[in-house]
Amino acid sequence: MVTSAPRVRPRRLRETPALRRLVSETRLHAADLVLPVFVREGITEPLPIASMPGVVQHSLESLRTAIDEAAAVGVGGVMLFGVPERRDARGSGATDPDGILNVATRVAVEAAAGRLVVQTDLCLDEFTDHGHCGVLDDVGRVDNDRTLERYVAMGLEQARAGSEVLGLSGMMDGQVAAVREALDDAGFERTAILAYSAKYASAFYGPFRDAVESTLEGDRRTYQLDPGNRREGLREAVIDIEEGADIVMVKPAGSYLDVLADVAAASDVPVWAYQVSGEYAMIEAAAAHGWIDRKRAVIESVRGIRRAGADAVLTYWATELAGWIRNGDDA
């Protein structure tokens, strides 16, 4: 039996939906969401991705529709990934002005018309026949410094195509400094760099590799971070900021919230996080079986990433979630 009523009652602030909303510490806004978009060369209709229900490889025409839908509900930006018909050892399609990613960028910029930020993935893995994020040396290892030369060329083509933010995701040492210097020298000093600073060698990328039809054999552990390393993630972010990154990224998001919180606490530039394909696929699969409430799980997962310190979140639910937010159905 309680002999005296508690004077401190935290539950008072949870009594009604309106009160919970008023005192919420972490709010979701459509402008803080970025939609990753896959654009495949040579198709006229969008193609579903089996391991990512609800996500497709877009044609150039359906890309326009996706941009319009995202902009209409206030999504902050799109991140474009190209899926080429042909690949080679150097990833030549990445630097071809008429390659799928550069063409898609021009289409997206026109469709967006300033309503959201068009961003592009700057990495060679979608364009190489071996599936690695750079060019290989004579023994089959990724050659860091030769890869930087390809990143510079790729960055310049993306900037010429109109990309506002270049997403450097290859995890090569010195990539930010190399691309920043090249952009500035070529007159693209206003083009921003998003550094995928703490990108881990994760098991959660599997569906993404289906989406880009990856040809990778082996793994990327010699350049992506060891999942057991927390301090190293922060160190990589600090280096990228020193080299001139305008934004830094932690990827994946859900399993690396500690790293995200570390980077957010130390960074004086915006910090973003990528809710990757495996995180998306797990929630969709569980919801399809009736094991979880889909909408609540989506909202909770993204809110958790924001709570940990992300200023913006790349998520495949961006457009749908933004619609819920607009309708006041985000709690």
Beta-carbon contacts of residue 85 (< 8 Å; ≥ 6 apart) = 41, 42, 100
- Rounded-to-integer distance, Cα 133 and Cα 141, Å: 11
From 40, 130, 132, 251, the catalytic residue: 251
**Which whole number is the average pLDDT over 135-159?**
96
Backbone angles phi, psi at 271, to 5 degrees: -120, 125
**pLDDT at residue number 213:** 80
Separation between Cα atoms, residue 251 and residue 259, nearest integer Å: 10
> What is the pLDDT, as a whole number, of residue 216?
78
Rg of the Cα trace of the chain?
21
Q: Which CATH architecture has domain 28-322?
A: Alpha-Beta Barrel (3.20)
Contacts of 106 (CB under 8 A, 6+ apart): 161, 162
Nearest to 156 by CA among 179, 176, 134, 133: 179
Tokens of 212: 């880009």
Q: What is the mean pLDDT of residues 184-194?
A: 98
Q: Which of 87, 150, 199, 303 is catalytic?
A: 199
Residue 191 has pLDDT above 80, yes or no: yes
Domain boundaries, the chain: 28-322
Computed from CA positions of residues 147, 148, 149, 152, in that sequence, does the dihedral angle turn out positive or negative?
A: positive
pLDDT tens figures, 210-258: 888 888 777 888 999 999 999 999 999 999 999 999 999 999 999 999 9
**199 catalytically annotated:** yes
Tell me the per-residue pLDDT of 272-330, one tens digit each, with 9 for 90 and over: 999 999 999 999 999 999 999 999 999 999 999 999 999 999 999 999 999 999 998 86
Contact 181/154 with Cβ under 8 angstroms? no
In the residue annotation, 295 being an active-site residue is answered as no
CA 231 to CA 170: how far, in whole Å? 20
What per-residue confidence (pLDDT) applies to 264? 98
Between 76 and 206, the more confident residue is 76
* pLDDT higher than threshold 80 for residue 1: no
Q: What is the mean pLDDT of the chain?
A: 95
Q: Report the predicted TM-score, pTM, of the whole model to 2 decimal places.
A: 0.95
pLDDT band at 95 (very low <50, low <70, confident <90, very high): very high
**34 alpha carbon, distance to own chain's centre:** 7
Give the Cα separation of 69 and 318 in Å (integer).
11
Alpha-carbon torsion 172, 176, 181, 187, what sign?
positive
Write the pLDDT tens digit of every residue in 30-80. 999 999 999 999 999 999 999 999 999 999 999 999 999 999 999 999 999
Give the mean model confidence (pLDDT) for residues 86-102. Answer: 96
Percentage above 90 pLDDT, the chain: 91
